[in-house]
Amino acid sequence: MLENYYDCQRTIWRFKNCGVFGNCIEDFAEYLHNKQLSRHIVREYVRAAAHLSRFALWEGVMELSGLDESFICRFINEHLPNCSCERINNRQYASTIQGVWYVLRYLAEKNFVPMPESLIENSMEPVRLAKKRNKAQQKKLYAVEVDAPSENEGFQNPCPPKTDIISQEVIMKRLPESIGGLILQYDDYLTNMFGLAKNTREIHRPKAMLFLKWVYDKHGHSFQLSDLCADDIINFQEMCNEYGFSDSYKKTLTSCLRGFLRFLRWERILEADLCPAVYCVKEWKLATVPKFIPYEAAELLLSVPDRNTDMGKRDYLALLIMLRLGLRANELVQMELNDISLEGGQLLIRQTKSSKERVLPIDEEIAEAILAYLLVRPVGCTERRLFLRSIPPFKSLANSSGFGNIVKRCILELGIKTPSLGTHLLRHTLATHMVNNGASFKDTADILGHTSIATTGIYAKVQIERLKCIAMPFPCAEEVCGR
């Protein structure tokens, strides 16, 4: 079995003679193969098993029963952080951790060790270790955020403020308890009043928390939000400017700040309208040109996925839908089996950016790709989402980054030059192709799901030949040419 994953006979010999687990390494590779893991993952986990076996040899463990849960915990917590067995330790050993837990499951199923009780669902690591690691990382990376500012520092932070998930937890701990309910109200306000998508709300909410943290660091926990004034808004923006954020980030920050101030006024927390105190970031509207590639070049991406494999059929379908229908990556993530009507030739898009459903046509090419992918879905899978992980556990994709990786991988494999590597490149390419080939802005807007046709107007800038027809003549052109 190892010959299917490794070409070098010396590597195979080394794995089979690496210690107490060496005699089981061949059977362990077959065990992983039966789990329908990818070739790359099996190679990583076999290497992790050999690494564990070498550590056991070093510790004098000569029986498989010694590779129990406590020993593996020692391997993860004590050996890996200081390991220099093969190469310089770059502290990136997530695959090694998951691999050794597969070893533990394998040994437990073979009755060499007791079945561990503390494994979490994805068999990554015990729950108690995950909590311990998260706390250690939080304390190490965000100590500056947790510590109270000194008298000399005032309310200024020595590093740019963060809004990732762990930072949000740290921020909430520093805010009064009543603010938690206010943040939930703000999220409902964004949902019910404006119908913002989840990803958009996850941009607005952390920015509001960042502003509240700054306010209470400056004024103390006894401060009332009703006492906010224009000077506070201006000072907060001055603090953000000191970190040298890009204009794009400043625009996002100021937009979120205005939205939060409107919410405070809506809830009658603020009597005065403080939105005029938020400055406008200068940016010429429609100043840029959409990033796209020729449609013929984009179609070459469809030839990259291996359609003889399950993963290749999934990737091909995702690329085809993005290229033919211009769907956003998040719309692909949310797509469910009930949204597909092969008989009617329609595809219902529910979870859109504007929270408005739209129906798109399905041609024969897309229908055949959907059928080919549905035929290879895992038997007994209860997931209703269309696109699933290609390796166990067969769950729906957590976010849109998986589709971005598909597009990036195909572009790099073809070796073509593109202005970007994301999924929106295909969306812009389709829109540009439609407009340049005679489609009206209304038709293009309906396909892309634009709420306003003015949003589609940016694609008029790429119609060079048609723009020549409406260009004004150069003043006094006859006199210049006459000379």
In a shared domain, residues 122 and 199: no
Q: Which of 213, 248, 277 is the last residue of a domain?
A: 277
379 falls within a domain = yes
In a shared domain, residues 254 and 366: no
Q: Which residues contact 64 (CB under 8 A, 6 or more apart)?
A: 20, 21, 24, 107, 112, 113
Residue-range definition of the domain harbouring residue 65: 2-136
Omega prior to 161 cis, within 30 of 0: no
pLDDT score, position 125: 46
In a shared domain, residues 454 and 310: yes
By 3-state DSSP, what share of the chain in percent is helix, strand and coil, each rounded to 5?
60, 5, 35
In a shared domain, residues 100 and 50: yes
In a shared domain, residues 464 and 326: yes
Can you tell me the distance from the alpha carbon of 124 to that of 102, in angstroms, rounded to the nearest whole number?
Answer: 9
In a shared domain, residues 442 and 319: yes
Reduced to 3 states (helix: H, G, I; strand: E, B; else coil), residue 126 is: strand
Can you tell me the distance from the alpha carbon of 218 to that of 221, in angstroms, rounded to the nearest whole number?
Answer: 9
pLDDT score, position 7: 78
Block means of pLDDT (10 residues each) for the chain, 483 residues, are 81 84 88 84 89 87 86 83 64 79 88 69 43 48 39 45 75 85 92 83 91 91 92 89 79 92 93 90 71 92 93 94 93 92 91 79 94 88 88 83 92 91 92 88 89 80 66 63 56
289 falls within a domain = no
146 falls within a domain = no
The token pair at 158 is 């020595």
In a shared domain, residues 301 and 219: no
pTM over 0.85: no
410 falls within a domain = yes
In a shared domain, residues 60 and 125: yes
149 falls within a domain = no
Can you tell me the distance from the alpha carbon of 33 to that of 37, in angstroms, rounded to the nearest whole number?
Answer: 6
Let me know how long the chain is. Answer: 483
Over the range 325-361, which residues count as b (16 or more CB within 10 Å of their CB) and which as e? bbbbbbbbbbbeeebbeeeeeebebebbbeeeeeebe
Q: Which of 99, 119, 136 is the last residue of a domain?
A: 136
483 falls within a domain = no
Structural domain total, the chain: 3
Q: Which of 211, 245, 277 is the last residue of a domain?
A: 277
141 falls within a domain = no
Nearest to 335 by CA among 293, 298, 411, 388: 388
The CA-atom distances, in angstroms, between 431 and each of 5, 291, 319, 327, 445 are 43, 11, 15, 11, 9
In a shared domain, residues 299 and 273: no
In a shared domain, residues 64 and 201: no
Asked if residues 25 and 2 have their Cβ atoms less than 8 Å apart, the reply is yes
Give the start-end residues of each E strand in 329-388.
Answer: 340-341, 346-349, 358-361
The CA-atom distances, in angstroms, between 372 and each of 200, 311, 368, 383, 384 are 34, 11, 6, 18, 17
pLDDT score, position 182: 93
The domain that holds 189 is classified in CATH as 1.10.150.130
pLDDT score, position 479: 58
In a shared domain, residues 422 and 355: yes
Partners of 396 in the β-ladder: 388
Over the range 150-167, which residues count as b (16 or more CB within 10 Å of their CB) and which as e? eeeeeeebeeebbbeeeb
349 falls within a domain = yes
In a shared domain, residues 300 and 241: no
